[in-house]
Amino acid sequence: MIYIQIKENESIDKALKRFKKKFEKTGVLKQLRARTAFKKKSVKKRMEVLDAVYREHMKAEEAK
């Protein structure tokens, strides 16, 4: 359960923004979406490899 303490004179919008940020960090929504559809292990592995290649490519571009 996520708790947000609303500070004195804090607007609801800011409190809601803090709640959304905290909720996103927990990864609940990401996990829920991952569970909606079954992916084979081979597909998961392929996606992980492609993501790793992409990240390495981006790091190499940054270093230039």
pLDDT digits (tens, 9 = 90+) for 27-42: 999 899 888 988 899 9
What global pTM score does this model have?
Answer: 0.52
Domain boundaries, the chain: 12-63
Q: Indicate if the alpha-carbon torsion angle 5, 8, 12, 18 is positive or negative.
A: negative
pLDDT for 63 = 85
The rounded distance, in Å, linking the Cα atoms of 48 and 42 is 10
State both tokens at 48. 């992980």
The rounded distance, in Å, linking the Cα atoms of 35 and 4 is 27
